[in-house]
Amino acid sequence: MSGQDHFLVIRGFLAGRRCNRGLVGFVLLFAHAVWGADSGTNWPTATERLPLARATFSAQSNDVTAAIQLAQVCFEASWAATNTAHRARFAEEGIATARQALKQHSAAAGLEYYLALNLGQLASTRGMSALKLVREMETHLLNARKLDETFSDAGPDRSLGYLYLDAPGWPVSVGSHEKARKHRENALRLAPLYPEHALALAEACLRWKEPEAAARYLAQADLIWPQAKERFSGARWQTDWNDWESRRTALKNQLKPR
């Protein structure tokens, strides 16, 4: 259940993938930390996990792990919400949780990371005011990266890659193909077994009209696929695998010799 880590910035401007949510549908949606070991075939939904996460944080408000977990579950619940009001409410709870905890745990990469993702979800419910939130997201993702670039299988770089690729460029917003490439390459270097990274680079290279590079990254995805299947296994990852398999097939079709 990580791919829900996964919100494109401003694919409302562009058209979107599954993670698009209006003006700023942040795919950070492929930047998602997962807690604990998968224990069975039925992984509870975020809304089902929220009461326990809230109760744990309420009882242990000074515990950084409890704070990160609640901010994460709020993000997941926001992503899964079917209407704007619920999406905003869950995101605001995640933002408030992360901000409160950061006052005591300023060096917690997970708090910076989920603060950014929840800001992205909140931005997806806004109009042009979302652009200010996008810049704030960038700040917190960069902070998370400085604190722990490996968090959530290189989640900060993965998320920055989507942010810079899909946000409008200067002077409107932070978009930059150069930065998008750098952070996507960093994510692949740091977490080569995470399928999202090679796929995302292949997709970006096709957008940049670099089919040979796209084919190399797709080949890299093919190479790690069996190991990734073993590492990211269980019910919580099924949504991600459905997405990754679909994108891999689409890339193969696009890169077929004509």
DSSP secondary structure letters along 2-68: -TTB---TTHHHH---TT--GGG--GGGB-----S---SS-PPPHHHHHHHHHHHHHHTTT-HHHHH
CA distance 32 to 41: 20
CA distance 177 to 67: 34
> What is the residue-averaged pLDDT of the chain?
84
The domain limits of the chain are 11-187
5 φ/ψ angles, rounded to the nearest 5 degrees? -85, 0
Confidence class for position 192, pLDDT limits 50, 70, 90: very high
| Sign, CA torsion 99/102/106/110 | negative
| Candidate from 117-126, 136-145, 187-196, 224-233 with smallest mean pLDDT | 117-126
Long-range contacts of 226-230 (CB under 8 A, 24+ apart): 227/193, 228/193, 228/194, 228/195
CA distance 193 to 168: 30
First to last CA, the chain: 36
The domain made up of 11-187 has a fold known as 1.25.40
The pLDDT tens digits for 46-101 are: 889 999 999 999 999 999 999 999 999 999 999 889 899 999 999 999 999 999 99
